[in-house]
Amino acid sequence: MTDWKPRTRAVHSGTRRSQYGEVSEAIFLTQGFVYDTAEAAAQRFEQLGDDEFIYARYGNPTVAMFEDRIASLEGAEAAFATASGMAAVSGALMSMLKAGDRVVSARALFGSCLYVLEEILGRYGVEIVLVDGTDLDAWARAITPETDVVFFESVSNPTLEVVDIEAVAKLAHAQNAKVVIDNVFASPVYSRAFEQGADVVVYSATKHIDGQGRAMGGVILGSEDYIRKTVEPYLKHTGPALSPFSAWIMLKGLETLDLRVRAQTATAEALANALTSHPKLVRTVYPGHPSHAQHELCIRQMGKGGTLIAIDLAGGQEAAFRFLNALQIGVISNNLGDAKSILTHPATTTHQRLPQEQKDLLGITPGLVRVSVGLEDAEDLIADMLQALDQV
Ligand SMILES: *Cc1c(COP(=O)(O)O)cnc(C)c1O
């Protein structure tokens, strides 16, 4: 089983069959578990055996199947599933930090990640230092011996900057700091984060892992020691457990993840080629395209550019809105990783809260549109985008 390739793991790892021998994994929609005797209950509370459960806030067979399958896929010793991606990000960080600790993080982050760092951890006395994630000298200066955790999105939202996992992890480990990576944009398909030096990897399963826009979920991956001794006590007592029904959606999502993400990436490549140098655009940002400033790093780290593109319309917000409103296939929404192509105007939606100077610093311009490439026919999608640009 250890030498199974990812697509085999994505279909078979973690499977637990009931006495009925079902082919498709069962949904154990139960909060609790019955003990044969009072002694058995006492015994289980004293020492949880393999594949034993007490209460669904602590663990559940369907949730465990999802955790084991994604841990196998990601090359992690263990995983703990959560009710959303943000429960995973905040759980990973809150469980390992205390007042007086220091976190160094890339500045280009999903809005809620920034809120957890600056507003919540800040309030609890954790020092937060933000750096330009693409600048290794800035990382080197900020990661002092007092640093406890280094945090970043390996590919940032929405401007698609790539952080060099191997180089930053080297700097962090030299100071005994742990590396926590929000790896949503890479997805498990293009992730070798543990090999490259990550200590903890976090996913929002809401995105590519579900992949059909149905359920919220998240997962924290790491060493057996970290998950069992640091994460589990925090999550089981604070309660952001993944529902068994949502875990089942994510588990089945993993089976087709590789096929979906590779198909979406192939379309993203074709779309980036079709849009690069378009006269209505100031820039097309796609890490998988040679024009991206970190193209080489992206290919070395991930192999491919992933499923997201950002375009910047020359006519600013008015042009961006006109373009979005003219689309016939892509939908205007703020999720990503879906079978449907989804387009977002970050400056007025996901990143609206940021002050203008921060938007400027992050390159979130009025004309910027984030494109999450779906599973539609690539030619149809490209034709739709080009006709919408014609109407600008
Ligand atoms: C969506 C997202 C999250 C949060 O995930 P939810 O499932 O929406 O809570 C965190 N980080 C990144 C990079 C994301 O794209």
The whole-angstrom separation of Cα 90 and Cα 71 is 19
CA distances 15 to 51, 72, 162, 315, 370, Å, are 12, 11, 34, 52, 36
Query: Starting from the edge strand earliest in sequence, which strands make up the sheet with 149-153, in order?
Result: 78-82, 218-222, 200-204, 178-182, 149-153, 102-106, 127-131
- Region for residue 219 given its phi and psi (left: phi exceeds 0; alpha: psi -120 to 50; beta: otherwise): beta
Q: How many CB atoms lie within 10 A of CB 120?
A: 13
Q: Hey, what CATH topology would domain 257-390 get?
A: Aspartate Aminotransferase, domain 1 (3.90.1150)
Q: What's the CA-to-centroid distance between 363 and ligand 1, angstroms? A: 20
pTM over cut 0.95: yes
What confidence tier does 254 reach under pLDDT thresholds 50, 70, 90? very high
Hey, whose CA ends up nearest to atom 15 of ligand 1?
Answer: 184
pLDDT in tens, 270-299: 999 999 999 999 999 999 999 999 999 999
Helical segments of 51-143, H only: 61-74, 85-96, 111-115, 122-123, 136-142
* CATH no. for 6-253: 3.40.640.10
What is the pLDDT at residue 1? 57
Pocket of ligand 1, beta carbon within 6 A = 84-86, 89, 110, 112-113, 153, 157, 182, 184, 204, 206-207, 216, 218
Q: What's the CA-to-centroid distance between 34 and ligand 1, angstroms? A: 35
The whole-angstrom separation of Cα 227 and Cα 235 is 10
Phi, psi of 94 (to 5 degrees): -60, -35
pLDDT in tens, 117-127: 999 999 999 99
Hey, whose CA ends up nearest to atom 11 of ligand 1?
Answer: 110
For the chain, what are the domain ranges?
6-253, 257-390
The whole-angstrom separation of Cα 131 and Cα 137 is 10
Hey, whose CA ends up nearest to atom 6 of ligand 1?
Answer: 85
Contacts 24+ apart (CB under 8 A), 26-33: 26/61, 26/62, 27/62, 27/244, 27/245, 27/248, 28/60, 28/61, 28/62, 28/244, 29/62, 29/244, 29/245, 30/56, 30/60, 30/244, 31/55, 31/56, 32/56
What is the pLDDT at residue 353? 84
Of the candidates 178, 182, 161, 160, the one whose C-alpha atom is nearest the C-alpha of residue 169 is: 178
Mean pLDDT across 149-160: 95
What is the pLDDT at residue 81? 98
The whole-angstrom separation of Cα 281 and Cα 72 is 42
The whole-angstrom separation of Cα 20 and Cα 38 is 27
CA distances 5 to 75, 79, 312, Å, are 11, 19, 38
pLDDT in tens, 27-55: 999 999 999 999 999 999 999 998 999 99
Residue type for 144, please? T
Hey, whose CA ends up nearest to atom 5 of ligand 1?
Answer: 85
pLDDT in tens, 328-386: 999 999 999 999 999 999 999 988 888 889 898 889 999 999 999 999 999 999 999 99
Q: What's the CA-to-centroid distance between 52 and ligand 1, angstroms? A: 30
- The pair of structure tokens assigned to 82 is 């959560």
Strands (E) across the chain are located at: 78-82, 102-106, 127-131, 149-153, 178-182, 200-204, 218-222, 281-285, 308-313, 331-332, 342-344, 368-372
